[in-house]
Amino acid sequence: MKKKLIIFSGVIMFFLITGIIAGIFIYQNSNSLVNGFMTKKQLREDYEFVWDFLENTYPYKNVCIRSGVDLEKIKDKYRRLLYKLEGSYDYLLFYYCMLEEVTNERHFGHLDVGNAYNDSIIDIPDIVVTKNNNALEVKDIEDCDDIKNFNSEIYDVYERAKVDMDFREDAYNLYSKYMDNRKESKKFGYSRHGQLFSSKSISDDIAYIDLKSFQLDWEDSKKIGDYYKNLRETLEKFQDSKHLIIDLRKNIGGYAFLWVNGLIYNLISKPIDYKIPVAVNANNAYYKIYLEDPEINEDKVINQYKLYNKDYYTLTKENFKNFEKLKFAEENKEDRDNFNAIMYDHINVDKSLNPVHFRGKLWVLIGPDTVSAGEMLALFLKNAKLVSGDYEIPVTLIGKRSRGMAFSWPDRIYLKLPNSGLIVKSDLGYVLDSDGNSIAEIGVQPDIENKRMNAYRMCLFLIDKEEDSK
């Protein structure tokens, strides 16, 4: 009996010691640095934080699924790559490429990394939301040294890549770990701040303006003032044209206040309040933080230019009553269950006291590369009435439907991963058109779709046909 007891005690002791050793090994393994970068525990916590947002808060999750992506497959793929990261730049690419795959490369609702992934500073906010002890927390970016350090390391990569071609090639080839080098547009040295627009006179009756971008440093009042002045002068030069072509086919977006104040304001003498429905989940923890924290609301750049009505931030009983009446299309009716309130975004354009005397017709060219603020302009021109004096400017959209990639609304949130300086950004609202479709999903539809002929050539053909019929 004693012998059995001794054997039994020995077995228990063996398993106890083995368990302790295994626990120590697991703890040390979990808390050891991966390639001198972050611990496995830190990497896992950041990853779980992002996926918790994607699965339980991201408003366009179902849109992604309907576009053909398998979220579970993507989640599993990147989980297996998580412990092979080699530093800050690789970490940035890891999440950039993962979010590319999640959105089928369309970045619905601006879902993306919020740190600069080229040599331009883009979309770095003043306020971020992170997790601390399992609770969401709002932080001033000035208090986030890890974000500053992370961005500094990223810029060091870009600067070195400009002079060291071998390093440049090695760094760029890191994409192949994730997406087989598909993202040619994100090469080193590529800057989003290029020429904003160009123009030309096609004939005495036809003028052309190519609006390439609405991207300027919103704090640079001189550049913004120059943009308004140059666009105003261009419109004045073409004011006697019978036909004005606005080309948005390659517009990469930016700040919508540039087209509100630079283009629309100069064409109208009657103010416009254009209203767009946005479905939200007012009970979601992230949205509650967004609505209740005054620092986040005050930080919205776009409000400083009076583009949006601040009633957006006010939740009343009417927001919930209106939701019951809100129309969802057959294709996206399953998404209705993810929201409980309806907001109305108002794009307000004041009347100009001295509008350009344009009495012709606007032709707007759009396509799959029309995104973000460019898409907003296309939607606005398709639906709003542009009135100058007693004349309503006719507008026709030609081309193919826009990307549906993103709309820029004032409910964007910036998530700082708990253990790193990486930022993930996303809009929290679900934007609908008048038929109840998700605009992110279907894009802006042209009035006339070009199937064989180039949109520009088709536009000229239709203009000639219209003039011949007079």
Q: What superfamily in CATH does domain 197-468 come from?
A: 2-enoyl-CoA Hydratase; Chain A, domain 1 (3.90.226.10)
SS (HEC) of 75-143: HHHHHHHHHHCCCHHHHHHHHHHHHHHHCCCCCHHHCEECCCCCCCCCCCCCEEEEEECCEEEEEEHHH
pLDDT value at 306 more than 70: no
For the record, the structure tokens of 15 come out as 């398993």
State pLDDT tens for residues 75-85.
999 999 999 88
CB 374 within 8 A of CB 340: no
Q: Any idea which of 103-107, 296-300, 387-391 has the lowest mean pLDDT? A: 296-300
Whole-angstrom Cα distance, residue 297 to residue 249?
Answer: 32
| CA–CA separation, 315 and 319 (whole Å) | 6
Range name among 33-42, 177-186, 221-230 with the lowest pLDDT average: 177-186
- The pLDDT value recorded for residue 163 is 73
Q: Is the pLDDT of residue 235 over 90?
A: yes
More confident residue, 176 or 384: 384
pLDDT in tens, 309-344: 444 456 778 888 889 989 999 999 999 999 999 988
Residue pair 381/272 in contact (Cβ under 8 Å)? The answer is no
What distance in Å separates the CA atoms of residue 380 and residue 449, rounded to the nearest whole number?
18
Residue 52 has pLDDT above 70, yes or no: yes
Confidence band of 16 (pLDDT split at 50, 70, 90): low
Q: Are strands 430-431 and 448-449 parallel, antiparallel or unpaired?
A: unpaired
Determine contact, residues 343/312, Cβ cutoff 8 Å. Answer: yes
Six-digit token pair at 39? Answer: 């611990």
Residues 161-200 have pLDDT tens digits of 777 777 677 766 666 667 654 444 344 333 444 578 999 9
φ, ψ of residue 287 in degrees (nearest 5): -70, -35
Please report the pLDDT score of residue 314 as a whole number.
64
Distance of CA 62 to the CA centre of its chain: 17
Give the contacts of 81 (CB within 8 A, at least 6 positions apart): 94, 177, 178
| Cβ contacts of 356 within 8 Å, gap of 6 or more | 232, 235, 236, 239, 266, 267, 388
What separation, in Å, do the N-terminal and C-terminal C-alpha atoms of the chain show?
113
DSSP state of 167: H
Higher pLDDT, 214 or 207: 207
Quickly state the pLDDT bin for 14 (edges 50, 70, 90): low
The mean per-residue pLDDT over the stretch 291-305 comes to 49
Alpha-helical runs (H) found in 105-256: 145-163, 165-172, 221-237
Instruction: Say whether 207 sits in a helix, a strand or coil.
Output: strand
Residue 278: is its pLDDT beyond 60? Answer: yes
Predicted local distance difference test score (pLDDT) of residue 51: 98
Residue 419 has what pLDDT? 94
- Where residue 13 falls among pLDDT bands split at 50, 70, 90? low
Give residue 311's pLDDT. Answer: 47
411: pLDDT strictly greater than 60 = yes
pTM here?
0.83
Residue 301's pLDDT is 38
Identify the CA nearest to 358 among candidates 279, 263, 283. 263
Q: How is the beta sheet containing 127-132 ordered, strand by strand?
A: 112-113, 423-427, 412-416, 127-132, 135-140
For the cut 70, the answer to whether the pLDDT of residue 3 exceeds it is no
pLDDT, the chain, mean: 82
Span 116-166, pLDDT tens digits: 544 444 456 778 899 988 899 988 888 889 988 888 888 787 777 777 777
Domain ranges of the chain: 1-30, 35-182, 197-468
| 202 class by beta-carbon count within 10 Å (0-12 exposed, 13-18 middle, 19+ buried) | middle
Name the residue with higher pLDDT: 251 or 183: 251
